[in-house]
Amino acid sequence: MLGWAIGLLLLGLGGCGGSGPLRASRRAGTPVPRAAALSPARAPTLDPPAPPGPGLTRLRARLTAAARGLGPHVGLVVEDLTAHRLLIDTGGGVGRPPASVEKLYTSAALLWLLGPDTEIPTTLYGRGSLGSGGVWHGNLYLQGNGDPTIGDGGWNAAYADGLGPTSTELLADLRADGIRRVDGLIYADASHFDGALGGPLTHNGPDVGDYGGELSALVFDHGLTVGRLGPAATAVHEVALAARQAGLRLVASPHLAVTPAGARRLAVLHSPPLARMLPLMDVPSDDLYADLLAKYLGYRFYGEGTLPLGALAIRRAIATHYGLDPTVFDGSGLDPADRTTPAQVTILLAEMLDTPVGQTVRGALPVLGVDGTVAGIGLDTPAAHHCEAKTGTLTDVTNLAGYCATRGGHLLAFSFFVDGPSNAQAVAALTPMAGAVAGY
């Protein structure tokens, strides 16, 4: 069935998605302004089909064989970026859940909107005064903006490539200010984001299974929670614990608070530059990173850190720079209502390739057969070490999209979307499919 479909659909180009008005989202109950209609200078399209030849015939046959048994809900697009020719398009214009392939949109939007050198600040404020003996008379407030990399040294070394700021750095700044004891409390200020601890799958409640922690404007050790404390209160709890171990008296409040007007800035922690954070998100496909960064976009550009507003920023950036209009409700792709087409993703990969944004996104992707979520894909095929790609996985949704350098010296972009079969069955098919592309 799929072989017949590939043969039929390869005669023409599948649709690649419209470029009409951007849709506003009210999924989390937050009013979102409707974006202006998009009028791109050109309609984004795939390249024209490649002429028949033995290499293309072989690629079609191998993809057909690899995809046999996956069912009818499969979208496959392969484009030769070197020759500017479309090689494969079956079901390329059908909108499907992107799952974590959506992080390609998120990565590109973040770079366009913020720039690769952007660092997310976490600021410690004090309301009070410094007295004799290094005693701070008053309270402290640790205000977050969604930096997902804050943690203790051990956690950062294991999970953030040692890049994230630590409580040790914060305490060193306090000591540099002459503070040795605080006779008040340290409060967590998570007011720049909404109070949703998870995403749409759990109706904004905690979703540790998908995120590996809980969402907040202030997180520590990847959204860690301790006892009944939420992630923000846990963050100041961990800072206070580290302070006591370092001989600095500091007591954490279990309650959140908004930094009062007139508070004095005492210290600032900075995340790694955005270009360094993207591999931390894309290589392991970290959903917490993606949705915290999306909320940061909402806060930066619309004044409120919510997923709907972050998604609006992503949609607008992708529409403005690439003329594409995927349906985006979050930054991670966890929302099952997200939709895009394999053709749209392939166009994105092609359009951004020779730009600084594209080079940074490509450099943030895991390498097939080597690392991250694709370490087990492409083994013992030409794809191993020669393809970079983003996986996307929800229940019975299995996607892969990225770039492959072929033996003949061409660079190909591909997008494989598979809906219906079990993830195990679909993942098993991705190795011969990627191998076919790299062996073209």
Residue pointed to by tokens 């791109």? 40
Instruction: Say how far apart CA 52 and CA 56 lie, in whole Å.
Output: 6
pLDDT at position 407 is: 87
Interaxial angle between packed helices 167-176 and 231-245, expressed in degrees from 0 to 180 and rounded to the nearest 10: 60
Answer yes or no: pTM beyond 0.85. yes
Rounded-to-integer distance, Cα 161 and Cα 279, Å: 10
Q: Are 187 and 239 in contact (CB under 8 A)?
A: no
**Other CB atoms closer than 10 Å to residue 260's CB: what's the count?**
13
Please give the average pLDDT of every successive group of 10 residues along the chain, which has 440 residues.
Answer: 28 27 27 37 78 93 93 95 96 96 98 98 96 94 98 88 92 92 96 96 95 98 96 97 92 97 96 97 98 98 97 97 96 97 98 96 98 96 98 97 95 97 95 96
Closest residue by Cα to residue 437 from 334, 328, 349: 349
- Are the beta carbons of 284 and 372 closer than 8 angstroms? yes
CA 319, CA 308: separation in Å to the nearest integer? Answer: 16
Is residue 174 a contact partner of residue 267, using CB atoms and an 8 Å limit? yes
- pLDDT score, position 159: 86
What domains can you pick out in the chain, each with its CATH number? 2-116+325-438 (3.40.710.10), 121-272 (3.50.80.20)
- Cα–Cα separations (whole angstroms), residue 10 to 67, 78, 96, 353: 15, 11, 19, 24
How crowded is residue 57: how many other Cβ atoms within 10 Å of its Cβ?
10
